């Protein structure tokens, strides 16, 4: 299968790595972009949209990018901070009064943005159909008590990050999160990205191929285990992403649909100081907030060491040794999608694929691509 697109000569090793994975079928279909200060140095795509290998992955193919969606959700919230409509140190209840219930009155917006709020998921019972009901899902979270003392540790808000922050966006902007992203981010930038997916776009979606099972069976963990509660309620089911109900939902934690090009177009706003081709989304002061460390230690949901700033992960030499410990923020998605914003190099690296690999944040493939990118730019 031929890889299509553009690649500057200095990134030939990245192209070779990508072509190898496509031809060996390590990848089914994928796209990768490297944006250096607004110049698209790499924009490659290839493979297939389906397991039957009947539909080629084209320039306009999109797919569910899982938790790379969180990068765009965080950007939406930071844009409202930038406009003075939100304050990261204000209580969430200032914007969403019902959220104060059950001891959550002192949880600040920065706690939601950094996965340190203690509200890392829904209390069971809570099923997939409940997830698709915005009012119900928000009211459940508003009524719950935190699972640990807010601000003392991170616990990855894997499934409810978009619900928590999306409700805040809705309260202050009057728009749903999906509509805010469409109107305030995707449209001004001409970026082919959406939370959920319009039915007219379904024919060009590359269905996801589920990854190997998680290394631990959540159902054998104690019912009060934080990993089980966060990841297992509702049960994680990658195949759900290929359904109509999923595509119609507003799930800012993990149902964004796009490709590497649209993710790079949007997230380069951070790498490039807030402005993309004359469209300003953030000011430098707001970008500085991202790098205010909120937690640094073992994440109580994922069980691995993580560092969080406000809205994004920060480099960690143990968990993501392939990301330099510099002024870089990032996040990735279940199965391997990845978004890296490198402010020192004014570089954005994005990767989206449909064949999911092992790992909730990144994969061996995304690691290999990033290592190759940094070998190239630092040579």
CA neighbours within 13 Å on the CB side: how many for 315? 13
Cα distance between the two ends of the chain: 30
* Sign of the four-CA dihedral 196, 201, 206, 209: positive
Q: What angle do CA 90, 91, 96 make, to 5 degrees?
A: 115
Task: Report the DSSP beta bridge partners of residue 257.
Answer: 64, 194
CATH at residue 205 = 3.40.710.10
**Burial per residue of 194-215, b for 16 or more beta-carbon CB atoms within 10 angstroms, e otherwise:** bbbbeeeeeebbbbbbbbeeee
**Rounded Cα–Cα distance for residues 117 and 105 (Å):** 11
Put residue 367 in one of left, alpha, beta given phi > 0 → left and psi -120 to 50 → alpha.
Answer: alpha
**Rounded Cα–Cα distance for residues 28 and 353 (Å):** 8
> Does 64 score more than 90 pLDDT?
yes
Query: What pLDDT was estimated at residue 215?
Result: 82
Question: Could you tell me the residue range of the domain that residue 327 belongs to?
Answer: 4-377
Query: What pLDDT was estimated at residue 379?
Result: 86
Residues constituting the chain: 379
| Average pLDDT of the residues of the chain | 97
- The mean pLDDT of 210-229, rounded to a whole number, is 92
- The mean pLDDT of 154-166, rounded to a whole number, is 98
pTM of this prediction?
A: 0.98
**Rounded Cα–Cα distance for residues 171 and 97 (Å):** 10
Q: How many domains does the chain have?
A: 1
Q: What is the pLDDT of residues 304-346, one digit of tens each?
A: 999 999 999 999 999 999 999 999 999 999 999 999 999 999 9
């Amino acid at each position: 299968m031929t890889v299509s697109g553009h690649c500057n000569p200095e990134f030939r090793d990245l192209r070779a790595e990508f072509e190898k994975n496509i031809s060996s079928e390590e990848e089914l279909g994928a796209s990768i972009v490297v944006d250096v200060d607004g110049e698209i140095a790499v924009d490659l795509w290839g493979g297939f949209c389906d397991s039957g290998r009947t539909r080629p992955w084209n320039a306009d193919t999109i797919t569910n990018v899982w938790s790379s969606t969180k990068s765009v959700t965080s950007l939406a919230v930071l844009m409202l901070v930038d406009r003075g409509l939100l304050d990261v140190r204000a209580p969430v209840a200032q914007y969403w009064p019902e959220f104060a219930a059950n001891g959550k009155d002192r949880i600040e917006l920065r706690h939601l943005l950094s996965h340190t709020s203690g509200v890392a998921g829904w209390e069971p019972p809570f099923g997939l159909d409940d997830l698709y009901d915005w009012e119900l899902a928000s009211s459940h979270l508003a009524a719950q008590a935190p699972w640990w003392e807010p601000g003392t540790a991170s616990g990855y808000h894997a499934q409810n990050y978009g619900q928590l922050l999306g409700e805040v966006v809705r309260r202050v902007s009057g728009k749903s999160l999906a509509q805010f992203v469409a109107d305030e981010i995707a449209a001004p930038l001409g970026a082919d990205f959406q939370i959920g997916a319009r039915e007219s776009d379904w024919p060009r979606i590359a269905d996801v191929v589920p990854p190997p099972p998680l290394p631990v069976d959540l159902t054998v963990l104690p019912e009060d285990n934080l990993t089980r509660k966060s990841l297992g309620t509702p049960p994680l089911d990658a195949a759900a992403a290929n359904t109509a109900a999923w595509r119609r939902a507003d799930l800012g934690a993990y149902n964004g649909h796009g490709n590497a090009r649209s993710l790079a177009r949007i997230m380069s706003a951070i790498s490039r100081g807030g402005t993309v081709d004359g469209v300003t989304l953030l000011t430098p002061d707001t970008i500085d907030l991202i790098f205010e460390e909120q937690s640094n230690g073992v994440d109580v949901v994922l069980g691995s060491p993580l560092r969080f700033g406000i809205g994004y992960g920060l480099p960690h030499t143990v968990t993501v040794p392939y990301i330099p410990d510099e002024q870089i923020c990032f996040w990735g998605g279940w199965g391997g999608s990845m978004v890296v914003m490198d402010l020192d190099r004014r570089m954005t690296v994005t990767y989206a694929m449909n064949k999911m690999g092992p790992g909730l944040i990144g994969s061996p493939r995304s690691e290999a691509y990033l290592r190759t990118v940094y070998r190239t730019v630092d040579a």
